Amino acid sequence: SDIFHVICSTSLISLLLPVLFSSYISFVSITDFHHSLFLLSHLKENLQVYRLNSACWPQALSITVAVDFKPNILLIMADDLGIGDIGCYGNNTIRTPNIDQLAKEGIKLTQHIAAAPLCTPSRAAFLTGRYPIRLGMASSNRYRALQWNAGSGGLPVNETTFAKVLRQQGYTTGLIGKWHQGMNCEALNDHCHHPSNHGFDYFYGMPFTLLNNCQKNKPPELDAALQAKLWLYTQIIALAVLTVIIGKLTGLISASWKIVACFALAGSLFFTSWYSSYGFVQYWNCILMRNYDITEQPMKLERTTALVLKEAVSFIERNKHGPFLLFISFLHVHTPLFTTEKFLGKSRHGLYGDNVEEMDWLVGKILDAIEKEDLKNNTFTYFASDHGGQLEAQEGKTQLGGWNGIYKGGKGMGGWEGGIRVPGILRWPGVFPADTDIDEPTSLMDIYPTVAHLGGGIVPQDRVVDGRNLMPLLQGKVQQSEHEFMFHYCGSYLHAVRWHQKDSGALWKAHYVTPIFQPEGAGACYGRGICPCFGEGVTHHDPPLLFDLSRDPSEAKPLSPHTEPLFDTVISRIARAVQEHRQTLTPVPQQLSLYNLMWKPWLQPCCGTFPFCWCDKEGDSAHPAL
């Protein structure tokens, strides 16, 4: 067997030498020398392992995998987390040791910008590397995110997510957590917008998003104002019917019983039609799925955190031989802020702080799993939030939304920095420097071309991709990001534009439209719950409000032609950029039209026979890891 071993080894090594050499050359071109050394040592280890093993061909395969090196991609996204909520971004009252450690071992982006200030459009842009307006995911009505699992809008089928690109390059792709990019188009279970139709081999989580309605005893969140109105109309109708009946019985009104019955029937039809959608929101929207199967309807929040963690860790374990793409899209720290007992009452910022600390703990557990499987050095790890914290999320005097640090505004505001500037952390030991800040403008959309490049794929060539490959910047090969202009939309309305003037280092930002705060000067739209993008709730500025963020990051003092000699030059340069940008836009179907957003009973994902939709397939199998 020794002789066989020697022959086997020699022939195998001679077979592999050319491959080793060519891959080494190509590898040097994408990463630095330091990391190439890592790869070589990795190969050496593989060869040593191989020498200890008498069955040679399986080992040959494992070497090929190492030669054709593709890092694992781990993307972690928090929901509604403010940039001011994390220790490494300056918070000293909420404890986020795990996220801080990630930043210490990698790069902290200090000017990381979301393409939209709300879940659905921001995530659509993240997944495709394109502005939401190019996808039909930028709304021109007042609903800017998907409202129902049973709506017909969502991430268009013809868009190519990074998951699709990486799957084509041999990656196993998984999404665990929140989707909020739609489900069906025309028929129940056509799954046209489902993660698996967008490149994810595995999906576990919420097709929708967390909202207050998912937790009993919380005030309803979904369209609360409209629901209140509908309730009022229902009560008026009921009162009117009652009055007519009493009038008839006492002989004061001489209407026929037929008319009274018709009136009552119309009233109850009105009630059932709206109540069937809003009355059962928890059943319609708060569900968990594994691939195409609904596992919980409605979901049981008290065990969701443990299930998400279990799924994430088991995906990593299953795919440790890689390469994998795992997108962990936390349900934290969106309201209703369901927090397990271990973290309740532990932070100095009430329920919100508790929930952030629990989320940080989850990050730690997931990174532990990566480390345990010895994947830390060949995993590109990313952490971000989908947009800024929601200032208006309050219950009485208790703040339930995040904090955006020194930045003005928050969730829902497309122009102000607080709505769109989010934490962004990247780690890849040996490839990226440790404990480094990058202040250049970067976008969540940049992750798309970056991971496509790392996986050996290319971004679609038949459409505009707005994201830029970050590798040269992250590796210190260039000092400036490729972004010169960034366009800050609120729905389909362009609210502001940022211009990074590379030669002077100035960071101009012009606001064409800003929301009217309620009360005035409050910094948020407390009266409305969320700031509008158009109509009476906004102010148009001509000339635009201009700030230089490099001197005034809080956008406190607008510049004027008197205080800023370059005022007119800057405004006209930005106006030209807007014109050029608009020329690249083409008409697309509107995914967030009122029709597409509407609840359609025939599209309702249901694990029973509609309308009897309830199930719990998870049973007690989920032993909380808490």
Residue 180 annotated to the active site = yes
Amino acid letter, 527: G
Contacts of 273 (CB under 8 A, 6+ apart): none
Phi, psi of 65 (to 5 degrees): -60, -45
Catalytic residue among 35, 112, 180, 349: 180
- Contact yes or no for 509/497 (Cβ under 8 A): yes
Rounded to a whole number of angstroms, the minimum distance from the CB of residue 351 to Ca ion is: 17
Query: What CA–CA distance (Å, rounded) separates 521 from 25?
Result: 59
- Contact yes or no for 367/377 (Cβ under 8 A): no
Rounded to a whole number of angstroms, the minimum distance from the CB of residue 570 to Ca ion is: 32
Rounded to a whole number of angstroms, the minimum distance from the CB of residue 117 to Ca ion is: 9
Q: DSSP assignment, residue 446?
A: G
- Contact yes or no for 259/240 (Cβ under 8 A): no
Contacts of 274 (CB under 8 A, 6+ apart): 227, 230, 234
Query: What CA–CA distance (Å, rounded) separates 154 from 163?
Result: 16
User: Could you count the other beta carbons within 10 Å of the beta carbon of residue 520?
Assistant: 6
In the bound state with Ca ion, the residue whose beta carbon lies nearer, of 38 and 489, is 489
Rounded to a whole number of angstroms, the minimum distance from the CB of residue 287 to Ca ion is: 18
Rounded to a whole number of angstroms, the minimum distance from the CB of residue 93 to Ca ion is: 22
Between β-strands 107-113 and 72-78, what pairing exists: parallel, antiparallel or unpaired? Answer: unpaired
For Ca ion, which residue has the nearest CB?
A: 119
Rounded to a whole number of angstroms, the minimum distance from the CB of residue 136 to Ca ion is: 19
Residue 507 sits at the vertex; the CA angle it makes with 505 and 508, to the nearest 5 degrees, is 135
DSSP-assigned letters across all residues of 571-608: HHHHHHHHHHHHHT------TTSHHHHS--GGG---SS
Residue 347 sits at the vertex; the CA angle it makes with 400 and 80, to the nearest 5 degrees, is 35
Residues in the chain, overall count: 626
Rounded to a whole number of angstroms, the minimum distance from the CB of residue 305 to Ca ion is: 17
* Alpha carbon 586 to chain centroid, angstroms: 25
| Number of alpha carbons in the 13 Å side-chain half-sphere of residue 598 | 10
- Contact yes or no for 128/161 (Cβ under 8 A): yes
Between β-strands 436-438 and 107-113, what pairing exists: parallel, antiparallel or unpaired? Answer: parallel
Catalytic residue among 35, 88, 112, 119: 119
* Alpha carbon 245 to chain centroid, angstroms: 54
Residue 34 annotated to the active site = no
Burial of 246 (0-12, 13-18, 19+ CB in 10 A): exposed
Contacts 24+ apart (CB under 8 A), 276-282: 276/601, 276/611, 277/148, 277/599, 278/220, 278/222, 278/223, 278/227, 278/230, 280/611, 281/211, 281/213, 281/220, 281/222, 282/213, 282/214, 282/216
Query: What CA–CA distance (Å, rounded) separates 348 from 334?
Result: 18
Query: What CA–CA distance (Å, rounded) separates 216 from 75?
Result: 31
Query: What CA–CA distance (Å, rounded) separates 514 from 117?
Result: 13
Rounded to a whole number of angstroms, the minimum distance from the CB of residue 80 to Ca ion is: 4
Which residues of the chain form contacts with Ca ion (CB under 5 A)?
79-80, 119, 386
Instruction: Report residue 68 as tokens.
Output: 């054709």
Phi, psi of 191 (to 5 degrees): 50, 35
Rounded to a whole number of angstroms, the minimum distance from the CB of residue 34 to Ca ion is: 37
Query: Active-site residue numbers?
Result: 119, 180
